[in-house]
Amino acid sequence: MRIPSRRTLLPVAAATCAVGQLAAQSESRPNILYIMSDDHAYQAISAYGDPVGRLAPTPNIDRIARQGMRFDQAFVENSLSAPSRACLITGLYSHLNGQRQLAEGIDTTKTYVSELLQRAGYQTAMVGKWHLDGTPKGFDYYHVLNDQGTYYNPVFRGQDTGGKYLREEGYATNLITDHAIEFLNQRDPSKPFCLMVHHKAPHRNWIPALRHLGMYDRVNFPLPPTFWDDYATRGSATRTQKMHIGNHMELLNDLKVDTFKNRTYRLSRFVGGLNQNQTEVLYDYFKARSDSFNAAPPQGRDLAVWKYQHYLRDYLSVIHAVDESVGQLLDYLEKNHLLENTLVVYTSDQGFYLGEHGWFDKRFMYEESLRTPLVMMYPGHIRPGSVCRQMVQNIDFAPTFLRLAEAPQPAEMTGRPLTPLFSGEPVKDWRKSIYYHYYDYPTWHLTRKHDGVRTDRYKLIHFYGRGGTRAQQENKYQRMPGTREYNSFQWMVKDGYIVDAPDIDYMELYDLRNDPLELHNVYGQKGYEKITRQLQRELDRYRRELQIDEY
Ligand code: SGN
Ligand code: CA
């Protein structure tokens, strides 16, 4: 074991006396507990203060915010699961780590941050949703789900299963927590650890734990102010997507309602592999919902509102189990006197629409999916109750872990360690903008390709690419028989999922100070010429420096 250096990682300028005392006690490099859920909107975390979060509190995630820092401008570089995970694990943007789209594969020859941490003497573990090609590299312990995983009785593989997937009975969020604790119990306590706990929840199709079914049934969630957005002033991408609650959210798969008359209600149409007790409890609950819907099916706008309410009730019930899991892990650290020397991170692989612009899912560069929740605690180093408004991005996680591990940051990682922000004092030479790029078209939800820059105040987005099946011509993998992209593309064409859409090449500009809801695209409007030129230059700089090859 290396001899830990006695030091405070950063000046906690305005820290209280108690904080200073704690810092002096931490004589070794910290442990890292990184908890990431899947599709958790910041609007659904009470620490962020949004109406939904206030009605469905997350007391344990809030504990991290209260004892640490809430980041209000945390962004992803590509709002999609596997790309976000590939970014976390390599510290690289999508086009550099190979995983630009869901159907692509991460470049497994890249060095993973887990390997670097291992080399630096950390004990590393990955539990839960991996959702990347290959075996998790650089982990002393891994126990991961297959692909997206399932909510009930999922299969896991790890060193202990000889790399084979084995089914485990229970609810995914609980099982993942149990395996995380299993690692903590069996680890070598003489070494610092980095444990990544990646929940499947609250990913679509939002099936709660039996104990949480119906917990929000008496709550009516307020519609977000943009719920009836008509996309006036915006380009065609906002209208040709398939992620609209009213038009595209599925009654059966998403909301568990079977509208076919005279057919037996079967859970297996939206959830598989249940045991008898799970079947009975879920059946009673969702059959009653289905019956009540069929007795008086809402239409038009009422249907959209009905879907929204039930979507939120399921989604937030699923999150309740995630919050409980966070509480269990924090309690474990506390009981084992690990809290003082552990950086605890809670975040999501991206943000999510909870009815904003009428949508569910993510992908777009508009705020609710570009922004991801992020809270961190590290007693003695992060000021309790602090809020960071500087722009951070998921390319920064790997550099942060390496800095804490006192390991060098490889030159190809261009993110920045977040440690200088921990004091809560503004850092002057911090980044003034972030770059975003979404590539996953034409697949699920038909969100068009786009890239863009966001500054504190403005957002410039470029939507581009051929529409409908013509988009295949722009993607070498979708044209190459045998690849995953090709197969998934063929399947979507056969299924009639991909509808025709125009070829596009247009810009949008938002002034987030005057228009935080992003309803007014002001690109090309008088008075915005100068800022447009500046933002365009910034976008060009990113494309050049990052060697972006399509836009
Ligand atoms: C599945 C979902 C999509 C979702 C993607 C990506 N459909 O395909 O709604 O956008 O995952 O999600 S489902 O009917 O199979 O649930 S991600 O978080 O993994 O990127
Ligand atoms: Ca996700």
Q: How far is the CA of 39 from the centre of ligand 2 (A)?
A: 4
**Radius of gyration (Cα) for the chain, nearest Å?**
23
Q: How far is the CA of 542 from the centre of ligand 2 (A)?
A: 25
CA distance 331 to 347: 19
Residue 504 forms beta bridges with which residues?
A: 465
CA distance 225 to 355: 9
Q: Which domains does the chain have, with CATH numbers?
A: 6-207+311-420 (3.40.720.10), 436-545 (no CATH)
CA distance 532 to 529: 5
Q: How far is the CA of 528 from the centre of ligand 1 (A)?
A: 37
Report the nearest-CA residue for atom 16 of ligand 1. Answer: 204
Report the nearest-CA residue for atom 2 of ligand 1. Answer: 204
Ligand nearest the Cα atom of residue 440 = 1
Q: What DSSP designation does 390 have?
A: S
Q: Is 39 in the pocket of ligand 1 (CB under 6 A)?
A: yes
Quick one: what percent of the chain has pLDDT higher than 70? 95
What pLDDT does residue 252 have? 96
Q: Which atom of ligand 1 is nearest to the CA of 39?
A: 18
* Complete DSSP assignment for 397-455: HHHHHHHHTT-PPPTT-----SGGGTTSSPPTT--SEEEEEE--TTSGGGPPEEEEEEE
Sign of the Cα pseudo-torsion (199, 66, 456, 547, in order): negative
Q: Which atom of ligand 1 is nearest to the CA of 84?
A: 20
* Complete DSSP assignment for 122-150: -EEEEEE---SSSSPTT-SEEEEESTT--
Helix (H, G, I), strand (E, B) or coil at 160: helix
Could you report the per-residue pLDDT of 317-362, keeping only the tens digit for each?
Answer: 999 999 999 999 999 999 999 999 999 999 999 999 999 999 999 9
What pLDDT does residue 13 have? 36
Q: Which atom of ligand 1 is nearest to the CA of 254?
A: 14
12 close to 20: Cβ distance less than 8 angstroms: yes
CA distance 312 to 256: 13
What pLDDT does residue 260 have? 83
Q: How far is the CA of 328 from the centre of ligand 1 (A)?
A: 28
Report the nearest-CA residue for atom 13 of ligand 1. Answer: 204
Of the candidates 89, 122, 67, which has an alpha carbon nearest to the alpha carbon of residue 333?
67
Ligand nearest the Cα atom of residue 351 = 2
Ligand nearest the Cα atom of residue 149 = 1
Q: How far is the CA of 83 from the centre of ligand 1 (A)?
A: 13
Identify the H or E element spanning 52.
helix 51-55
Ligand nearest the Cα atom of residue 148 = 1
Burial class (CB in 10 A: 0-12, 13-18, 19+), 514: exposed
Query: Which single residue is written with the structure tokens 């064409």?
Result: 493
**Prediction pTM value:** 0.95
Q: Is 508 in the pocket of ligand 1 (CB under 6 A)?
A: no
CA distance 159 to 157: 7
What pLDDT does residue 257 have? 97
Q: Which of 38, 39, 102 to mutate to test the pocket of ligand 1 (most atoms within 8 A of CB)?
A: 102
Q: Which atom of ligand 1 is nearest to the CA of 350?
A: 18
Residue-wise pLDDT tens for the chain (551 aa)? 333 333 333 333 333 333 333 333 344 899 999 999 999 999 999 999 999 999 999 999 999 999 999 999 999 999 999 999 999 999 999 999 999 999 889 999 999 999 999 999 999 999 999 999 999 999 999 999 999 999 999 999 999 999 999 999 999 999 999 999 999 999 999 999 999 999 999 999 999 999 999 999 999 999 999 999 999 999 999 999 999 999 999 999 999 999 987 789 999 999 999 999 999 999 999 999 999 999 999 999 999 999 999 999 999 999 999 999 999 999 999 999 999 999 999 999 999 999 999 999 999 999 999 999 999 999 999 999 999 999 999 999 999 999 999 999 999 999 999 999 999 999 999 999 999 999 999 999 999 999 999 999 999 999 999 999 999 998 888 999 998 889 999 999 999 999 999 999 999 999 999 999 999 999 999 999 999 999 999 999 999 999 999 99
Ligand nearest the Cα atom of residue 41 = 2
Q: How far is the CA of 306 from the centre of ligand 2 (A)?
A: 24
What pLDDT does residue 19 have? 37
Tokens of 507: 């810009």
Q: Is 38 in the pocket of ligand 1 (CB under 6 A)?
A: yes
Report the nearest-CA residue for atom 15 of ligand 1. Answer: 204
HSE toward the beta carbon, residue 265, CA cutoff 13 A = 18
Q: How far is the CA of 143 from the centre of ligand 1 (A)?
A: 22
